[in-house]
Amino acid sequence: MASSPLLTKISHPFSSIYPTKFTPFYLATEQSFKFPSTLFNFVKHLSSNDNPTIFHNFNFDSFYANLIDNSSHKINLTQVHAKLLLLGIQQNGFLVSKLVNAAVNFGEISYARKVFDKFPDPDVFLWNAIIRGYSKYNLFASAVEMYSRMQVLWVSPDGYTLPHVLKACGGIPSFRMGQQVHGQIFRLGFEKDVFVQNGVVAFYAKCGKIASAKVVFDRLEIRNVVSWTSMISGYAQNGQPIEALRVFDEMRSTGVMPDWIALVSVIRAHTDVEDLEHGKSIHSCVIKMGLELEPDLLIALTAMYAKCGQVMVARSFFNLVKVPNLILWNAMISGYAKNGYAEEAVKLFRDMIAHNIKTDSITARSAVLACAQVGSFDLARWMDNYISKSEHKDDVFVNSALIDMFAKCGNVDMARMVFNRTLDKDVVVWSSMIVGYGLHACNHSGLVEDGWQLFHCMKDYGIEPRHQHYACLVDLLGRSGYLDQAYDFIMNMPIEPGVSVWGALLSACKIHRHVTLGEYAAERLFSLESYNTGHYVQLSNLYASARMWDRVAKIRVLMRDKGLSKDLGYSLIEINGKLEAFRVGDKSHPRSKEIFEELESLERRLKQAGFVLDRNSSLHDLNEEEMEETLCNHSERLAIAFGLISTAQGTALRITKNLRACINCHSATKLISKLVNREIIVRDANRFHHFKDGVCSCGDYW
């Protein structure tokens, strides 16, 4: 320390009088302030008992202020604080406020509070510092609490206090508290303070009172980019993205330049309306302003492209962000999951865990959703295991997603287990369980009764049934052949029956070939969703099952006129943890030759076992050869053949198909399960089929 050239060793002017006591001391020069390490050595020196120091002509405030400004760590601050206490100058409000602010900037909020609490009589600066600290780190309740304590002590808020308090009120959100603050703002005369007024605008917007926000905004004489952004994001947050975009245009026409936060808000609005076209123009605006590497804009862009289905583009932005960020990863994972890239979503989720990035419940929900889409039971079990050990295990959203996942991955018992262990069962948890039973129920009377029972005891738990629950009951009744009861049930529903209810009735009518009731249900469906292909296909299938070919043809024409066509079918099978996809007659697989050999051998064995084609089901316009060709090439057959040649004897095969299983494949699969002595589980677009020993769990109703 003595060797440092930045501190001048000074002999005390009275050293001749008090030679032992006051020599030497060190003077910090202007230049030494620029070198923090030197400064902190100096502080140590000052604190040491061996070197009592004289403070003649010593400017404490600027000296310690510089120390605080040059601090790089909490430990520096504690040194300064200790010194202030030692010197008995902890009442220096200026320095203590500076200390608290510095602590806040380091994220050391509880330390900031400790320093604050040692101060006997905080002035408005010190109150601002601590309230700012709580508000900055989203500890809104504490911020508001400190604000009330400040009021009790009759300290009047200033133009810096109020924006922080307003942020806290909007963050909770506490409309009442914020309104009181607004009243105070009025009484104290801050109506011209643009910082305070922007805070008021944002507060109302956060509370969903967008009209109040607009009133305040409209009264502003000066509007800066923050005022505009508060309104833009206010509309975006309150489900009015179109209005948000309009306000953005208005802002630009008044000549206010957007900054990066404004652009983030506008991108969010485009994300909400999934307007990629205009979103791209904002993207080019970002580039023009040279902001394309701003991490938060990259996050917003990732979210926009991901949600709009451009997952590859989104991923390229994702890759550019170097700092791990929860929101970024969530956006990418949910983008994948939403757009049918379930495996990528799961993979990214695993990467996230591998990278030790903290997940939140939104991450967990998206990941579970993705697992449900993949349909692999092993993966589902892995996911459940992960969740049950994580902090998300009691989240209702996560749990109902898990129930749904297990049901969709073929294990209704596991779904029930999750249901049982969910402590806080809300209406959707119940729905997921009932829907889960519905997926597997079919003709299985035990499960049908379980479903009924659940429906009835919902009310005991004070939960009002919603349309999904009615749909399930219609499904259960209709499937069991009680079509009239199902119809009566619908007519007596206390709520307007929707797509799910009519859809359930229509498919029940198809099973039992009840044409008139089915036509009625279809009519309702067409009026509710006139462009949903599924409804037309269902009705067409109903006609086909009743052999009313002329009407089948009519539907086909109707669909062609509306520009609707069927989805291309595919089947997935998981082998050794790897998913393989097959389309009709797919020869692209590397083991295609073996697959088709297996297929032929199966076909032979089926014929030997007396298998005959059902020629009635909507195939009337194909000739014999075409019919055979089409049927035994169906994607699930390829998946089964591949499964048989690549797994050990006796292994169950789990297959996922995007369309509904056709009647011929269904009966063929039943027989195959018996011939090869394998359990084959097929999840089609509607439900599960557990094929075993020549029968299917659906009892041939699906």
- The least CB distance from residue 87 to DNA, in Å, is 22
- The least CB distance from residue 214 to DNA, in Å, is 15
Nearer to DNA, 362 or 474 (CB): 362
Entry field: residues in the chain: 702
Nearer to DNA, 467 or 551 (CB): 467
Nearer to DNA, 140 or 642 (CB): 140
Nearer to DNA, 352 or 504 (CB): 352
In the DSSP assignment, the letter for residue 466 is: -
- The least CB distance from residue 525 to DNA, in Å, is 22
- The least CB distance from residue 436 to DNA, in Å, is 9
- The least CB distance from residue 393 to DNA, in Å, is 14
Structure tokens at 304: 């926009």
Nearer to DNA, 261 or 353 (CB): 261
Nearer to DNA, 489 or 688 (CB): 688
Q: 591: which residues sit within 8 A by CB, 6+ positions away?
A: 642, 645, 646
Helix ranges (DSSP H) in 310-444 = 311-320, 326-338, 342-354, 361-374, 377-388, 396-408, 412-421, 427-441
Nearer to DNA, 328 or 539 (CB): 328
Task: Report yes or no: 450 and 472 within 8 Å, Cβ to Cβ.
Answer: no
- The least CB distance from residue 691 to DNA, in Å, is 26
Task: Report yes or no: 291 and 257 within 8 Å, Cβ to Cβ.
Answer: no
Q: 96: which residues sit within 8 A by CB, 6+ positions away?
A: 84, 90, 115, 116, 119, 126
Phi and psi for 690 in degrees, rounded to 5? -100, 100
Nearer to DNA, 168 or 573 (CB): 168
Amino acid at 642: F
- The least CB distance from residue 170 to DNA, in Å, is 6
Helix ranges (DSSP H) in 321-376 = 326-338, 342-354, 361-374
- The least CB distance from residue 412 to DNA, in Å, is 14
Nearer to DNA, 225 or 675 (CB): 225
Secondary structure (3-state) at 11: coil
> Between the CA of residue 127 and those of 85, 94, 328, 414, 498, what are the distances in Å?
20, 12, 35, 54, 55
> Between the CA of residue 634 and those of 303, 569, 602, 631, 676, what are the distances in Å?
37, 8, 13, 5, 19
- The least CB distance from residue 244 to DNA, in Å, is 10
H or E segment at 653? Answer: strand 653-657
Number of Cβ within 10 Å of residue 428's Cβ equals: 19
